[in-house]
Structure 1
């Protein structure tokens, strides 16, 4: 497998400490580090505290001997693996602690190591193992303290009181409860981090979609006009050089304008948060669209006065009219179109009609013009109706709200 990757030019990935782990949200978790400082601190605390406890309980419990110290050291040192192998560590510390207590050695901070191991197991998601290990420790201690104590050191020791068992049980439940609380908070933080990452990805996807839509609208319109004028220039190059020169001038002007608009769109990728260098186009530039359509051989009549719109809604309205006129140039056999601007209450409405019929001709290949128009309208909470008219021709009717609001994108096939 590695040889195949090397032949394909991809170096095989090497893992120094094993393959990566993945959490429930699909994010790669970093490999756990060795917790040396905390392990050394807990082990030293257990050994030192047990010495003090042995002096305080020297008449009740057995003194510390080399075996007891070895058990204490093993219990503390096992915590070094608690992040990599939490289940074996929590059961191992519970077992060594039970052996330590069963041998009659004094009570003391040996329970701290069990608490740390239980905490690590619960936080790592092994809740059942932590509860089972803690319950086993308590049950084993109860068995030793109330039945097996007759045959275990120290000789002649009395049975433990049930009040002491209640204290130990309360301590065990408190440790596991605190571990569960820490686990819940950690999962909440991880979930919030994943949600923030998802929101950032969605914003990036929406921005890419917006830029793609802008580029499509700009290039589809401009290239359609250029294609028509190039055809006119080629047809009249020999018979009417002046008309051919006018077509070439239109191509030059249209390409220059298209390059300017493409540059304006791409400028938003320079640095996030930068303001655009030029204002977004709106319906105030409708005369330019009419002039460009006329240069492509399309006569456009405009009815009504452009309504006052916010920059975002104005840009969407401009692009919708632009795309509708581009579709007339590319797909309709009619050389006449009508643009009607009006209101339905507080809702601005745009209507673009042509008399058809559809020719099926393509000026630059199939596109997603109608899908883009619907996405623009839906993103603002508006609607687009596009389709053949009963009396022939084609109609695009857009209703855009004055106040933009987010809505679900609608994707459909182009005309």
Structure 2
């Protein structure tokens, strides 16, 4: 994305690749970029051989930035070690170039190895910096490469091995897309108002919609994150980067997956960032009645006999038990107790999701009470506890948590 000052200078695209094996292909991408009037900075992350074309940052410098030397990586001959080290080095180089104003966009070309290295560099850059990866593995599971960053991945269709009518077209398209991103100003408005991060799941959508609309009417910018594991991690990362000023963590369902073993876990650091940053947060227990799996036949055999809800052919939900909820409640209480800023826990006593409402599949007052009781028992006194006789999606509950966060935010101002 072109910055305001970039219009007065030539944009620079950093291209990351293994120049010892993909020099021809990367050279072609460089030429397409240069023909469109952008500067190109080649970063060589090849380990085993000499570069086929001249890099701007040599592989030796990348290895050193990754805490090792090119000679030691060659001597070890361990591909996994080399990919990890060069990924760390490429990330450090990319950050350095970006901080110095010498990186407006980043492009990568390659197979699984360079995809791992180049996307490590991309993940080190802020959201909004154009990131484009042409990869042989882009049609599979891309989560390990994309993580929580805005990385565009383009499947190369054929292997990136030599130039032909197919590879030229794909690489040229990627290069031209990058040119478009770094040379055009989208004129996106960046409002000067406090930003609130909100977590949502399908089964907590009414709550989030009501709270979001109310907060925006009070003058807040809101960013809603889908609590699918990656979404929770993305919010945590943006809190750490200072993008988010307050958190309405309606949907903490990722902790059910983390504790029980579902597919949408956000990791053990979920709920840490806001507390460590000391920013205001209001946390609830949205969708902690469920653990997420893929199609029904992918649910691990150890869970046979449990209560399931088929959300759609690709998503199977499993009801959490009283014991699981009690354990999750203790974990969340510990996270909130560690917060250094104002924090409130909001409990919807009539259900934590759409499916936990009276008459719905997951309505289980005993399991809910186990969760609530564990939270009450383990919360410190300085964590404000808000309990309402409402379902999480009732307007009364949504407005109450939004107003509580607004109170904290106003006090901070």
TM-score range, shorter chain: under 0.3
The structure with more radius of gyration: 1
Report which of the two has the higher share of strand.
2
Q: TM-score, normalised by structure 2?
A: 0.20
Report which of the two has the higher share of helix.
1
Q: TM-score, normalised by structure 1?
A: 0.19
